[in-house]
Amino acid sequence: MTSINNNAYDGFRTFSWLEDLSGVPLDKINFIIVYMISFAIAGLLRSSLSAEKVKPETRHAFCIIFGLILGYFAFGKYAMHLIGFSTICYGVITTRDPKLIHIEVFIVAALYLSYLHLHLQILNYGTYTLDIRGPIMIMTGKVTSLACSLHDGFARPEKELTVMQKEHVIRKRPSLLEYYSYLLSFLTIMAGPGTFYDEYMDFIHNRRIQEEKLQNKNFSERELQFSINLATLKKVCLGTVFLVLLYVFLHTYDIQNMTDDEFLKNTSMFYKIWCLNILASIHRLNYYFAWVFVDAICNNAGFGFNGFDENGQIQWTLVTNVNVWEIEIAPNINAYIKNWNKVTIRWLKLVVYERVPRFKIMITFLTSTIWHGFYAGYYLSMMHGILYYYAARSIRRHVRPYFLGSKVLKCLYDLLTMVVTRIAMSYFTVSFIVFEFQTAWKIYRDVYFFHLIFPVIGVLLVPILLPANETITISEVKNVDSERNNNKVDS
């Protein structure tokens, strides 16, 4: 089982006394401190350093300087990789042919990140410690999406571009200041999200909001500031709740026991499944806190405006990386993936999925796994993810139509798939958390590989036993849609 090892942590130890006082590891304390400082200074970007008061160059410099200061505080000497990685990739962007720039930048970034993964995996094997790999992973997403957008803008006719590629196309190479600001900004350097270059430039120049003001005369500055404050407050409160829950869970459940032979031998199947679910929940809480709070940091700076929703309310969701409620009630793995690490999913779609000619799903999963690192558990999770994906798609196609005859059956189907998805994702997560193939295999073996039975049936047997019947599918969908319309039920 993995452990936390603060002896491997290279960040500042100024607040080590808080570790002794609270029992929280120092790297986590520094992470929270960086978030608090980032949140405080982010407000300057929409007050004294707003786009209306200072030049873009000033905003860029501010983001770079504090990005490097906070990076050095959190990662110590390893912060040099922030400069090293970004500089090497910029050299490729500015000197190479746009026809191949997306491939060459991807290779250089992947090799640099892979070196760090392997180096730190060997140095600190099997430990959970805040290190430089996180920021470099985020920067890899940024620089490869930038290279793809430049390739689309310089080397491809517009008629060949997909909708997403047209949305993010770039027709002017970034200056050195713009580039470093995009990659090193304190807003997203710790935990992302890996925003797209055009979106970040829109924020620096305040384009989205200014365009909305020109189009909507009723869009007042007072309304804008109120919406920012409200969105920020909600996300800070929600992030705090996740942090408290994480602290409570960690002190209530000793997850280390899950790999003990005595635990595996003397506990029931149902309790093991329950503990796997708790393990997955704790893992999600880490990310819920990080992503929700960084969303609040960006919003506090005025970054994240995403137009209006159907009710006319201002949305601050552009850099939202997770939909917590949608994940917790996800009826299938597709819905889970869609709402988890959303910006990374957009990156994978732009950089990988829309550019490879064949085996799109498998290559995208593999890219995501390599991006995370080289622990065997990651690749075991990847294989589970691919199997679950195809099983969910098969069941939706071959089984779901038989449950669309009435609202009751449909609700029953959704409830069952929600429970199954939650259990499946617990198994999917465990090998990702424990890192090691042997440890994950021991857990799977002691639950009799229960998690593989239904996916295998879904992929291999369901299409044979229940061949897709288009007549049933179409007629039943029409029936349930008619019933929903009559009862004004939102699908």
User: Which residue, among 140, 141, 168, 174, has the nearest Cα to 152 in the 3D structure?
Assistant: 168
Q: Considering the candidates 341, 384, 398, 451, report the single residue annotated as catalytic.
A: 341
As a whole number of angstroms, the distance between CA 332 and CA 396 comes to 9
Contact between residue 297 and residue 38 where contact means Cβ atoms under 8 Å apart = yes
As a whole number of angstroms, the distance between CA 46 and CA 223 comes to 14
As a whole number of angstroms, the distance between CA 426 and CA 375 comes to 18
Tokens encoding 199: 């979106």
As a whole number of angstroms, the distance between CA 145 and CA 367 comes to 14
3-state DSSP call for residue 37?
A: helix
As a whole number of angstroms, the distance between CA 240 and CA 235 comes to 8
In 184-328 the beta strands, taken as DSSP E runs, fall at: none
Residue with tokens 């869609």: 338
Tokens encoding 229: 């404050």
Q: Return the bridge partners of 308, or none.
A: 314
Task: Find all residues with CB under 8 Å of 133, minimum gap 6, and list them.
Answer: 113, 116, 117, 120, 373
Residue 323 appears among annotated catalytic residues: no
State the helix-helix crossing angle for 207-215 and 197-205, rounded to 10 degrees: 70
Looking at residue 89, its amino acid is C
Q: Considering the candidates 372, 384, 398, 451, report the single residue annotated as catalytic.
A: 372
Residue 372 appears among annotated catalytic residues: yes
User: Which residue, among 227, 208, 427, 420, has the nearest Cα to 306 in the 3D structure?
Assistant: 208
Task: State the catalytic residues.
Answer: 341, 372
